């Protein structure tokens, strides 16, 4: 069977929302994952087929592209947040954000596919202050230089019912009576996962989005302190938020990196906060201006 869409990274936070939207629009979706057990809810979508595959293995990636219709679409949502310090970035970030897009481009070309939607990040820059931003920037550059009919999306922090950002802070405010917070003035413009997914699904039928890159942001700019305070209200806790100097945050992140649990915050995350994660002064609000979406607010989060 040939599928309309190859959804890479579809078993993640954004991917699950997008898969449901594509299903509702009657697209057939091939969704590769190396974690089949984690895709239980996706199996309830009859037009979404989960395939046990490792997209980091080129032969498997090429075979997956071979199962997409000639006029089909490849969507790449893969993103990782943490890696061991290295210049310009570590092996994990390189594999996910640079090598994978390059391999996708090659596999698509070998199978005669043209349409490619790519998830980047607001602030992606090959010369950025963090490994994350540099790796995302290099991945973007590879996409822009390709001969594909590409569209790039650059969202700010993405929020939603199952996000790992607001919900993380909500959990922390339940555990501790007070949270010391470095970089409390760092700025973000959080965007709804539903709005991000809608932009991806709409772009499929919008040829004018080919060879365009879009910044995706929500309607409001928040400081880090305001976001954590919102998370505390969401969790219905009275946790005190205590601003602390930047060096304290650096030490906290260093400690988190060595704990035998998933990393909550890394030094690289702090490096990313050196630049405001908001719509640039000369930027265009793509969600409202291009996709005509009435953006969801953080306060409306369920």
Query: How high is the mean pLDDT of the chain?
Result: 90
E strand map for 133-229: 149-155, 158-159, 178-181, 187-188, 191-192, 212-216, 222-223
**Mean of the pLDDT values across residues 145-150?**
97
For residue 28, pLDDT over 60 is answered with: yes
Q: Where are the alpha helices (DSSP H) in 120-274?
A: 131-145, 166-175, 193-203, 224-234, 246-258, 267-272
For residue 223, pLDDT over 70 is answered with: yes
- pLDDT top residue among 141 and 255: 141
The predicted structure's pLDDT at residue 148: 98
Q: Is 45 helix (H, G, I), strand (E, B) or coil?
A: coil
Domains of the chain, start order: 3-158+191-218+277-296 (3.40.50.720)
């Amino acid at each position: 069977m040939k599928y309309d869409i190859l959804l890479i990274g579809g078993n993640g936070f954004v991917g699950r929302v997008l898969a449901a939207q594509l299903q509702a629009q009657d697209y057939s979706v091939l969704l590769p994952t190396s974690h089949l057990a984690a895709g239980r809810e996706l199996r309830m979508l009859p037009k979404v087929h989960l395939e046990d595959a490792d997209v980091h293995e080129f032969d498997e990636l090429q075979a997956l592209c071979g199962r997409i219709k000639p006029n089909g679409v490849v969507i790449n949502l893969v993103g990782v947040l943490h890696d061991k310090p290295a210049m310009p970035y570590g092996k994990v970030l390189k594999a996910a954000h640079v090598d994978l897009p390059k391999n996708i481009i090659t596999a698509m070309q070998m199978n005669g596919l043209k349409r490619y939607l790519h998830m980047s990040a607001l602030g992606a820059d090959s010369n950025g202050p963090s490994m994350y931003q540099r790796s995302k920037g290099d991945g973007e550059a590879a996409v822009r230089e390709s001969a594909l009919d590409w569209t790039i999306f650059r969202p700010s922090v993405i929020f939603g019912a199952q996000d790992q950002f607001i919900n993380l802070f909500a959990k922390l405010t339940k555990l501790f009576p007070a949270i010391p917070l470095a970089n409390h003035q760092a700025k973000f413009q959080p965007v709804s996962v539903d709005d991000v997914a809608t932009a991806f699904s709409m772009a499929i039928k919008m040829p004018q989005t080919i060879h365009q890159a879009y910044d995706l942001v929500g309607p409001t700019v928040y400081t880090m302190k305001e976001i954590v305070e919102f998370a505390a209200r969401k969790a219905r806790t009275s946790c005190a938020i205590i601003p602390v100097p930047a060096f304290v945050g650096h030490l906290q992140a260093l400690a988190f990196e060595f704990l035998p649990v998933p990393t909550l915050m890394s030094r690289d995350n702090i490096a990313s906060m050196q630049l405001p994660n908001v719509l640039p002064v000369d930027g265009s609000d793509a969600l409202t201006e291009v996709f005509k979406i009435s953006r969801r607010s953080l306060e409306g989060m369920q």
